[in-house]
Amino acid sequence: MQRVSHLPVKLFFPSLAAFIACAAIQSSRAEEPYLKPDDVIALVGGEDMVAAGEQFGFLEFHLQRALPHLRLKVRNIAWEGDTVFEQARMLNYPKLEHQLDELGATVVIMQFGQMEYLKGKKELPQFIEAYESLIRRLRGNVDSRRLMILSPSAFNSSSSDVGGPARVSSEMKSDLEAYAASIRKLAGQMSAMYVDVTDVKEDDPIKRDGVHWNDNGQAIIAEKICVALGCPKVDETTAPNVASAARLIPAIKAKNRLWDRYRRPQNWAFLAGDRVTQASSRDHIDPSKRWFPEEMKEFLPLIAAREHEIWDVAAKLKRENK
């Protein structure tokens, strides 16, 4: 074994100093809060992430209640059916990375892999390659953008739609573990936070169809994410917390409904698709003007008003529960 004393002094001490400096930087970063004032948090992924950001609102509830002083903005840009290989959209719909830039997203919470790991370990290298490419796209050139990557969730052991209990309990479990381990490694390589959601007990009633989380599953996963982000773990059964949910979640859901109508208008073809030249897409007096884009902008102050309501209610709840 070569001894340290054999190293040239002029090489050893600068290397030691650099090591100490790096350790100090990493330590200081570890002590910094992950979330910062005015962060814009974007949710990316498939159907479970869509439901997390639109239908239930548990994730934002935990964040806003615990950290009302940060005045966080949560925006869901997930889409049903998205995988690391493809994110299909309507004609001219902006790509994920462009949406993040337009939002000014500073934090991205993403989850992929549940549908992909059905192909088994033989497709794992291609999956990781595609995932790394997607992560690079989403990070872009924004050095300050922080990424949180969730592991895929398990299929419920009672589901017969994905091969039956025997398939789920043996081969699929092994595949899930392999994909989760590779995603964890990739997250480390990409300087992203990793959160494991494979350890939620399969026997818990957390899936509505054996595949996607129900309200109970969404609540469990939301708390895991928020604890990882620095929110204190709380007992949701206490009277103050039940009351806070009754006051805060409706405001969050109202904001999310407005946001969903803004980002996914049913008549996208007239807004930015292949029917923008139609007469009905333009002003009836001055055809050179398009009324639809201007009308869509009316959603923005409505969303902002709901956001301020969320912050105000969360701040009051924080004071009341001290």
Sketch out the chain's domains with CATH numbers.
31-248 (3.40.50.1110)
Question: Which pTM does this prediction carry?
Answer: 0.83
Tokens found for residue 239: 């009277």
Q: For residue 138, what is the enclosing H or E element?
A: helix 124-139
Give the separation between CA 64 and CA 70, rounded to whole angstroms: 8
- State residue 236's pLDDT score: 57
- State residue 3's pLDDT score: 40
For the residues of 82-134, what is the DSSP string, one character each? --SS----STTPPPHHHHHHHHT-SEEEEE--TTGGGG-GGGHHHHHHHHHHH
- State residue 19's pLDDT score: 41
- State residue 145's pLDDT score: 96
- State residue 7's pLDDT score: 36
- State residue 204's pLDDT score: 57
Tokens found for residue 57: 């609102």
Residue 129 CA: distances (Å) to CA of 84, 178, 183, 193, 308: 9, 15, 11, 18, 41
Residue 278, C-beta contacts closer than 8 angstroms, at least 6 positions apart: 270
- State residue 202's pLDDT score: 55
- State residue 206's pLDDT score: 76
Strands 73-76 and 193-195 come out as unpaired
Per-residue pLDDT of the chain (322 residues; tens, 9 = 90+): 444 334 333 333 444 444 444 444 344 445 688 999 999 999 999 999 999 988 888 999 999 999 999 999 999 999 999 999 999 999 999 999 999 999 999 999 999 999 999 899 999 999 999 999 999 999 998 888 999 999 998 887 554 444 444 455 678 889 999 999 999 999 999 999 999 998 766 555 777 777 888 888 888 889 899 999 988 776 655 555 666 678 899 999 999 999 999 999 989 999 999 999 888 888 888 888 898 999 999 999 999 999 999 999 999 888 887 6
- State residue 237's pLDDT score: 53
Residue 206: closest CA among 229, 223, 193: 223
